[in-house]
Amino acid sequence: MEMPITLAQVEEARRNIAPLALRTPLVPANFEAPAEVYLKLENLQPIGSFKIRGAANVMARTPSERLARGVLTASAGNMAQGVAFCARRLGVPATVVSPDTAPATKMSAVRRMGGRVIQAPFAEWWRTFETRAYPGVEATFIHAFDDLDVMAGNGTIALELLEDLPSLDAVVVPWGGGGLSCGIAAVLRQLAPKVRVYAAEVATAAPLAASLAAGRPSTVEYQPSFVDGIGSKTVFANLFERARGLLAGSLVVTLEEAAAAMQLAAERNRIIVEGAAACAIAAALSGRAGAGKVVAIVSGGNIDLAKFAHLTGASDGAPPPASPN
């Protein structure tokens, strides 16, 4: 299949994002698993998430006269912070449309970075992804996942993986809209085509798995949970086609498995991970990504600490609840 992004675009993105994004470490997971699991620590980025890569690349490639009018994005939290962070560095206004279920911690971070937040019902928020605009806001729209410059920024992660672990066998990536997994997979397909790339989803909102099973974009019931960085009712048709050609499949984990992975990462690797990242870790730990060297993309660590303590049992010494949300 034709690659959505070229290696030249990804190398350019690497140069573009260097002033803002970190080259994050890849570390062995300090726990037993059917595979040799490694963790790519994007939770250590300045905004606590990989989203800074795509946001920085888009804004670097946007003409200054357009940037001066401001930027707009739709996000449940992490892309919002990426856009707000980069906009503050560039001295331009940023507006974020978020669902009314978005975590207060993430929205507070956006405001702290100088961004304006507009909260909307889930359906209205999702429509912003489709229209790439919001009534009354005149600004350059930065799509959180359906944008080739965002995808190229995300693809820089794959370059770092191959430099740090040339013999990797598989990568497990949280699936939100598809920009992260498809960006990483597009680079690996060109440089290391034998590497398997899997999406990770949560059972309460797994439209990619349903779509792959049906052979077409499908709609699923969406249930909000502590896994707020990924999960939706459906997939974009063009991202579905890319995923179908680039990914080895979607690995769906339960809320209980995600909470357990969150606790394990804290206990053994001393890292805080949010729900989306925990899904990738849980999927890698399950063995369903295969044997060999398997990398879980720890996409972010932006979670309310009280909620994190509750989910991991740190608040009262008890195990995580059966159905955390």
What mean pLDDT is reported for the chain?
Answer: 93
Instruction: List the structure tokens of 158.
Output: 């794959």
Predicted confidence at residue 322, as pLDDT, reads 41
Predicted confidence at residue 1, as pLDDT, reads 77
Which residues have CB under 8 Å from 183's CB, separation 6+?
Answer: 5, 54, 150, 151, 152, 153, 154, 155, 157, 158
Examine the residue annotation and report whether 299 is marked as an active-site residue of this protein: yes
Q: In what order do the strands lie in the sheet with 116-120?
A: 116-120, 94-99, 71-74, 140-141
Residue for token pair 């009534």 = 135
Residue 324 confidence (pLDDT) above 60: no
pLDDT per residue over 190-213, tens digit each? Answer: 999 999 999 999 999 999 999 999
**Residue tagged active-site, from 49, 225, 232, 299:** 299
pLDDT per residue over 129-157, tens digit each? Answer: 999 999 999 999 999 999 999 999 999 99
Residue 171 confidence (pLDDT) above 70: yes
Predicted confidence at residue 315, as pLDDT, reads 57
Predicted confidence at residue 325, as pLDDT, reads 38
In this structure, the number of other CB atoms found within 10 A of the CB of residue 252 comes to 23
Q: In what order do the strands lie in the sheet with 249-253?
A: 26-28, 36-41, 293-298, 170-174, 196-202, 249-253
Query: Where do runs of H (alpha helix) occur along 168-304?
Result: 179-191, 207-214, 237-246, 255-269, 275-285
pTM of the model: 0.93
Confidence of residue 317 (pLDDT cuts 50, 70, 90): very low
What does the chain come to in residues? 325
Residue 188 confidence (pLDDT) above 90: yes
Confidence of residue 316 (pLDDT cuts 50, 70, 90): low
pLDDT per residue over 39-92, tens digit each? Answer: 999 999 999 999 999 999 999 999 999 999 999 999 988 999 999 999 999 999
**Residue tagged active-site, from 51, 106, 293, 307:** 51
Query: What average pLDDT does the segment 12-21 reach?
Result: 97
pLDDT per residue over 46-61, tens digit each? Answer: 999 999 999 999 999 9
Run of H or E residues at 173:
strand 170-174
Confidence of residue 314 (pLDDT cuts 50, 70, 90): low
d(CA 121, CA 58): 27
Examine the residue annotation and report whether 194 is marked as an active-site residue of this protein: no
Q: What structural domains and CATH numbers belong to the chain?
A: 7-49+147-312 (3.40.50.1100), 52-141 (3.40.50.1100)
d(CA 20, CA 294): 28
